[in-house]
Structure 1
């Protein structure tokens, strides 16, 4: 008797399940000694249970293993559609070849076509050498897809193993890159090649370990303690973001209290009396966003600038703030580039910007000048001026010189600017002003008298927010305790904001 169609389907499904089971067993045997999860386990951590639908499961190259070392498809995360791919290091070292590359391109095209975020999980040895230029072509095609998707759908890269050579540039083109401490490595050139080419000695961790990229290079937006921690951060991040540039981020019930609360009153005591005394700006921000919930981005890199996602009245906002605990909150090259990239991301995806300023200006110094603070510091100015999303700024304390201008000032297009009575808005601080305005008088005095006279003159030099408010540069000088209420009201009023942009192909940001 001929085999019935239902029996044939059941038999094929059993064979498929057995093949996947055996493949997973081999993958676990190869990954576990390295302290790593398999590609499918990583996707399962990210996805809602049972939501993964795989694409091109049986694709292979010249009779090689099914899947060709890459797992791809679409999932849901907290009920929202997301496209995903994961390199399988247990097959060809996770290297990218013609077939596996085509799978990545296919799922990226699907993400762009359907307007959903894409999450790439990288754990591979780069281009597949034995396939020659064909494998290189896949990386170039991938770069083109990432560029086309930039500003259209959120793109997130997870580096959960090696990522070397030209393979590093695809994640670098995405919006957020997540690494895991002691597990992830991103390098253009490894230690052996570096030693042969230059004689320089370095370990892989020093060159491109997770800590290096999270604190020095800035290539990592988050450094996970382990793989589950990294995945949890990605899932939390997705909850703050819209699916695409024409969608809105998830919104929650607006339970904002419009009376000043006990938590609000704590803001009246956070900023120290001394102008040069440090305090933690996150203590201010967490008292203003919903439930004190912040998701820092690039937390270990340029810590003198805070970039984070939060919510106000149930809606996502991007927070940019100076951090007085580090370098007095001065803006240096790294801080400028970090904030500029964050501002541009928020603007691309219609996430309002909430800025908190306490800045003595751009950081002076030979290293900064020679490193390009003029060119690279201008990126933050450009980003704020270009942004058309609702922009609300609170001047908490110092706002001096170029720091005043760049940190969400009216002159760069901010919609609502508020200041605390502690705000000091001026070209320079009192000490600097005295040295310029009274330099002849001070030069004529002997040392001890000069110092005493300088202190006396500085004490008379009172900066305040009121001259700026008189000119309309500040919309209101408010009691700190009312900040949450005033910010909420401003963002609500700006929900319908429509901005005209110039008729041009694109601007030329000073890269």
Structure 2
């Protein structure tokens, strides 16, 4: 007995109505702004033909304020699963054309059910945020809905990757769900994210503030550090999410997508030797080192516009997925400050969660001095780096290129902080402080009494150079594994990564450590 054609026709009519979302006029206006529809965003993310929708026929249950007669297709959020480059992913996309993408009880329930599914089967979650906020007509139910979503964000944290895309308004409490996720991508146009808008700020503080100053992608990427990547448009945002996923495992008990069939090239890279400036005080652009160290075009920098004195990102070295943490001497001499410490600690912990080995490139004179840094809590923020490295159980390979002074030497993952291998170039300087400062402390009286203090200082620095900062001094004390040529760095690190992928590190049973937040 064949199915009644009327039933099939009714099903197709319902699906078509859902595809039209909040109306063809609203969809057309979004097109004029260069924005994709909610459903198109997911279709762009997923491999063609793989999207399976969850809850297409869901409807709100509000019977107040005239809502009982309103039809809100799929209650304003498209949910489902699909494949991204052949790997399963769960995703939802809020639809601003349907009641402004507002969150109500059923809207929240759909998101939570999808997140539960992602948790149970162990797959990443991608969330496209484009919502006017809480659905006022549903009152406390909408607030409860946000609370449930936040709870699920935390429940999934450290279990599966969570990527948020801010592709429209994301205001008030709605901003906290993206903030609880692992990575935030924001479009540079048509999107904003804030807790209090200009009107509220004006009423509360008397300040005149425009959204561009604090709610835009540019503001979050450079000043607040709330987002990780800026996209030019919706399509670019989906491409960035896809690329991020290509470095991440499906969940915390899976390995990253390494390509271990790729051979290790043992040919020395003589061009690496040429990157080291003759003058030890001249800045070394660490981006050039990274480009030669990793597989071609594989480096994806994270938070590139925030705290530029520290560079972090994902890459592959002879096929092995790695996280790169590198001082950038070309910016603030590569010092560690409040923002770079936060940036580094967060990235290190993300790598640790998802079993991604960490490669550290060190060239730093220390922590940033200054009253603002001290009053701002540089001790607390710098301790986050120490905590993150010491708590990380993934393979940790450290390469000391030049300066590694004081607490920053430790904070960039020395052997004492748990590095599995520490390599150093002959140009490395490992010490409590720079040679000049140490000379003044140790020989201050002799220098003051001399006829030519500058000449004597230079003489003493040269005389005691090995004792002050030589990598061989550290090697003699088994603080570094080996002194290597820059040209041999890629091969040595690649071999070290392959050798440490089977690393197992058991820690004392506990709920979690108490990181100095």
Residue number in structure 1 paired with 2:43: 44
> What secondary structure is seen at the aligned counterpart in 1 of 2:296?
helix
1:360 match: 365
Aligned to 1:296: 301
Map of 1:153 onto structure 2: 160
RMSD over aligned Cα, in angstroms? 1.6
Give the match for residue 63 of structure 2: none
- Equivalent residue for 1:435, pick from 434, 440, 445: 440
How far apart are the structure 1 equivalents of 2:460 and 2:207?
54
Within the alignment, does 1:370 sit opposite 2:385 as a pair? no
Q: 3-state SS of the aligned residue for 1:286? A: helix
State the partner residue of 1:472. Answer: 478
Choose which of 434, 458, 461 in structure 2 pairs with 1:458: 461
Once the two structures are superposed, residues 174-233 of structure 1 have per-residue CA deviations (whole angstroms, 9 ceiling, x without a partner) of 000001113321111000110011110110010211001101111110011222222111
Q: What is the distance in 2 between the residues matched to 1:279 and 1:58?
A: 58
The residue that corresponds to 1:259 in the other structure is 266
Separation of aligned partners in 2, 1:460 and 1:6: 95
User: How many Å separate the matches in 2 of 1:103 and 1:497?
Assistant: 39
- For the pair 1:328 / 2:319, whether they are aligned, the reply is no
CA 73–21 in structure 1, closer or farther in 2 if over 3 Å, else same: closer
Following superposition, the deviation at residue 287 of structure 1 comes to 1.4
CA distance in structure 2 between the aligned counterparts of 1:25 and 1:194, rounded to whole angstroms: 36
Map 1:388-399 → 2, pairs under 5 A: 388-399=393-404
- Whether the 8 Å contact between 2:360 and 2:413 is mirrored in structure 1 is yes
Q: Who is 1:200 aligned against? A: 207
State the Cα distance separating 1:362 from its structure 2 match.
0.7
> Normalization by structure 1: what TM-score?
0.96
Partners of 1:292 and 1:68 in 2: CA distance: 41
Give the aligned partner of residue 212 of structure 1. Answer: 219
Contact 1:143 1:173 in 2 (8 A): yes
Q: 1:18 aligns with which of 16, 19, 40?
A: 16
Could you say what secondary structure the match of 2:394 adopts? coil
Alignment of 1:97-176 (within 5 A): 97-176=104-183
Which stretch shows the higher mean deviation, 206-215 or 274-283? 274-283
Cα distance in 1 for partners of 2:298, 2:278 equals: 27
- Could you give the per-residue CA deviations for residues 348-393 of structure 1, whole angstroms, max 9, x where no partner exists? 1111111110111111110000000001110010000000111111
SS in 2 for 1:223: strand
Post-superposition Cα deviations, 1:417-440, rounded to whole Å, max 9, x if no partner, equal 100101010111112112222222
Please report how far the alpha carbon of residue 445 of structure 1 lies from its aligned counterpart in structure 2 after TM superposition.
Answer: 5.7
**Which whole-Å deviations, capped at 9, do the CAs of 1:87-118 have from their partners, x for residues lacking one?**
10111111111111111111111111110000
Count how many residue pairs are aligned between Structure 1 and Structure 2: 505
Is the aligned partner of 1:91 residue 2:107? no
- The answer as to whether partners of 2:320 and 2:497 remain within 8 angstroms in 1 is no
Instruction: Give the Å deviation of 1:22.
Output: 3.1
Q: Is the 8 A contact 1:304 1:324 kept in 2?
A: yes
Q: Is the 8 A contact 1:156 1:177 kept in 2?
A: yes
Distance (whole Å) between structure 2 residues aligned to residue 134 and residue 444 of structure 1:
78
CA contact (8 A) 1:396 1:422 kept: yes
Q: What residue number does 1:495 align with?
A: 501
